[in-house]
């Protein structure tokens, strides 16, 4: 499959590879931002081995760091959640490796000319639509991506191979006219149901369990009634400006910066601002730079293997933080006014006395687990309110089901045109769902079985033979009317629908291929990359 064919015949392919290459270029950019501690946190220098071929650890970190920059909300995840994100990233890289390996096995090749042609088409290597030239291209690869041209082109070649394999897989996607019309029917054939609701909430107060019933339930289910584990923490918060306020900038440093970067102090008349007018700007820049470095050092101190040897009090004193906050005992599900949910979750991942650091926006939270109150068995008095609620709910559900079943039996004796009058005589409410398709939830009922079975209900039948439920509520249903799909509209929308369905089918084919490739492959990820996953 040539590059020209890819571009002219498969717009999806061109779009996909450009997106992937953009990711590859960006994750290479700023490679030096990955700290040495990160690069050595996993044993060895391989993120995974796929059929004897390595995925370098450095390549994984570049991709991961770029993903984090593009998705800053990841900073709010717990360590375990972050590991799950990293696992998905590594799985994507493994999939790419499997696709490129299979492409080579099937005889696909990416000759140098094709690689060169693609490089020249990448906007990052163009000026005014023209290739910047070999020398500038090689310099840009080294300076910006921190890769030599050969390594960069190997990465590109593997990406192109994987995309060619995807193209081969996608070519097998096929959908017949009949299949396409069935898809259209699923989306556009609709029904409108009558329904009669029976809500357990209406019967919740019709029953109060006796003391004997409560005691019997408690004795049979003691293991289910335990208090929550409670924890308390001590913590400090450090804003970015707190680090900057620790920095002293000398006159020599101000002068040196002013003289080194005169272009930053251009005046409106084309000259240079006097030093005194630029002083505040220079101080701000230098303090931000030094404060950022100090913040990184502080984070590194607390994240070294085994944690910091210093207590929270010592760390606070060392960094001139006067106030150490303390929380009351809280459970994992509590919502606290002063402490973000991420911090309360983290408090249940460590042991008493442990410290942890979390970045929240521009601030750092350093927490220490102060006290742990373990979960313990409840007494019957402590469990009484919960038991009472459970018994009332169970009884209400039982009454609701019985009431619905009795009504269903009576309605089945009526004729279809008598439904409205019959429901009135029985004192129940007859409502309508409104139209919905097989792909939509049933309005107001939301029962998965009913969503598909609704289209099989006989229009002449007064009510369906079965009850449907959503949790503790029950429903009697009847088909009011069916809205058929319009064949003429199908003919007008067929081409667009076919494109959508092919994309869906291609995605499924790709996934099936990858599942088969994984079953036949030897894949060994580096377990040290994901410590919280065991």
C-alpha span between 526 and 39 (Å, rounded): 13
- Greater confidence (529 vs 466) lies with 466
**DSSP structural state of residue 196:** E
Mean of all residue pLDDT scores within the chain: 83
Comparison of pLDDT for 8 and 227, the residue scoring more: 227
CB 189 within 8 A of CB 483: yes
pLDDT (mean) for 484-513: 91
Secondary structure in 3-state letters for 99-154: HHHHHHHCCCCCCHHHHHHHHHHCHHHEECCEECCHHHHHHHHHHHHCCCHHHHHH
pLDDT score, position 517: 95
Of 260-269, 438-447, 498-507, 513-522, the poorest mean pLDDT is in 260-269
Q: Which of 148-152, 191-195, 235-239 has the highest mean pLDDT?
A: 191-195
pLDDT digits (tens, 9 = 90+) for 68-89: 777 777 767 777 777 788 888 8
pLDDT in tens, 128-138: 889 999 998 88
pLDDT digits over 405-416, tens only?
999 999 999 999
The pair of structure tokens assigned to 3 is 């590059």
pLDDT exceeds 70 at position 57? yes
Kindly list the domain boundaries of the chain, sorted by start residue: 3-174+508-533, 190-210+380-483, 230-373
Q: How confident is the model at residue 308 (pLDDT cuts 50, 70, 90)?
A: low
Best CA proximity match to 79, nearest among 257, 303, 314, 400: 303
Tokens 């005691």 locate to 215
- The helix-helix angle for 211-220 and 380-411 (nearest 10°) equals 100
Whose structure tokens read 């009472």? Answer: 388
Q: Which residues contact 399 (CB under 8 A, 6 or more apart)?
A: 200, 203, 206, 207
| Residue 42 banded pLDDT, cuts 50, 70, 90 | very low
Helix, strand, coil in percent for the chain, rounding step 5: 60, 15, 30
pTM reported for the whole predicted model: 0.58
pLDDT in tens, 15-38: 333 334 444 443 333 332 332 233
Q: Is the pLDDT of residue 14 over 70?
A: no
Helices (H) and strands (E) in the chain, counts: 19, 14
Sort 468 into a burial class: Cβ within 10 Å, 0-12 / 13-18 / 19+: buried
Q: Say yes or no to pLDDT of 217 above 60.
A: yes
pLDDT at 148: 85
Task: For 170-215, write each residue's pLDDT tens digit.
Answer: 999 888 999 999 899 888 999 999 999 999 999 999 999 999 999 9
The top-level CATH class assigned to 3-174+508-533 is: mainly alpha
């Amino acid at each position: 499959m040539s590059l020209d064919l890819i571009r002219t015949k498969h717009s999806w392919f061109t779009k996909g590879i450009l997106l992937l290459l953009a990711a590859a270029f960006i994750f290479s950019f700023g490679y030096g931002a990955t700290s040495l501690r990160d690069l050595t946190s996993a044993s060895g220098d391989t993120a995974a081995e796929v059929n004897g071929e390595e995925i370098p650890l450095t390549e994984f970190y570049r991709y991961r760091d770029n993903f984090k920059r593009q998705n800053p909300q990841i900073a709010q995840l717990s360590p375990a959640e972050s590991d799950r994100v990293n696992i998905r990233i590594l799985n994507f890289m493994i999939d790419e490796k499997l696709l490129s390996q299979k492409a080579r096995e099937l005889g696909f090749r990416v000759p140098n000319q094709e690689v060169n042609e693609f490089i020249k088409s990448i906007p990052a290597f163009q000026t005014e639509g023209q290739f910047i030239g070999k020398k500038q291209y090689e310099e840009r690869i080294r300076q910006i991506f921190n890769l030599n041209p050969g390594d960069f082109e190997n990465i590109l070649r593997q990406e192109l191979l994987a995309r060619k394999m995807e193209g081969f897989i996608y070519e097998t996607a096929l959908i017949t006219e009949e299949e396409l019309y069935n898809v259209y029917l699923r989306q556009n054939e609709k029904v409108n149901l009558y329904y009669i609701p029976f809500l357990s909430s209406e019967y919740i107060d019709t029953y109060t369990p006796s003391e004997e019933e409560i005691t019997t339930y408690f004795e049979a289910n003691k293991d289910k009634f335990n208090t929550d584990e409670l924890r308390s923490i001590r913590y400090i918060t450090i804003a970015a400006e707190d680090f900057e306020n620790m920095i002293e900038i000398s006159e020599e440093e101000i002068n040196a910066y002013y003289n080194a970067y005169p272009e930053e102090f251009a005046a409106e008349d084309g000259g240079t601002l006097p030093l005194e007018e630029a002083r505040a700007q220079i101080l701000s820049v230098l303090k931000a730079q030094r404060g950022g470095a100090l913040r990184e050092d502080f984070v590194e101190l607390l994240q070294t293997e085994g944690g910091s040897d210093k207590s929270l009090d010592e760390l606070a004193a060392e960094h001139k933080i006067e106030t150490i906050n303390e929380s009351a005992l809280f459970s994992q599900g509590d919502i606290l006014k002063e402490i973000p949910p991420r911090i309360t979750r983290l408090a249940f991942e460590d042991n008493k006395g442990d410290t942890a650091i979390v970045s929240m926006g521009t601030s750092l939270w350093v927490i220490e687990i102060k006290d742990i109150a373990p979960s313990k068995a409840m007494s019957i008095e402590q469990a009484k309110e919960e038991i009472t609620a459970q018994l009332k709910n169970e009884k209400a559900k039982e009454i609701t089901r019985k009431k619905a079943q009795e009504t269903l039996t009576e309605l089945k004796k009526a004729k279809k045109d008598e439904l409205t009058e019959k429901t009135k005589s029985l004192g129940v409410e007859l409502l309508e769902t409104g139209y919905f398709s097989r792909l939509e939830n049933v309005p107001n009922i939301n029962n998965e079985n009913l969503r598909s079975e609704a289209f099989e209900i006989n229009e002449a039948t007064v009510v369906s033979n079965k009850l449907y439920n959503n949790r503790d509520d029950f429903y009697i249903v009847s088909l009011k009317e069916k809205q058929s799909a319009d064949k003429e509209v199908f003919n007008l929308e067929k081409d667009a629908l076919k494109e959508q369905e092919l994309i869906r089918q291609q995605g499924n084919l790709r996934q099936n291929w990858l599942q088969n490739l994984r079953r036949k492959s030897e894949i060994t990820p580096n377990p040290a990359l994901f410590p919280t996953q065991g």
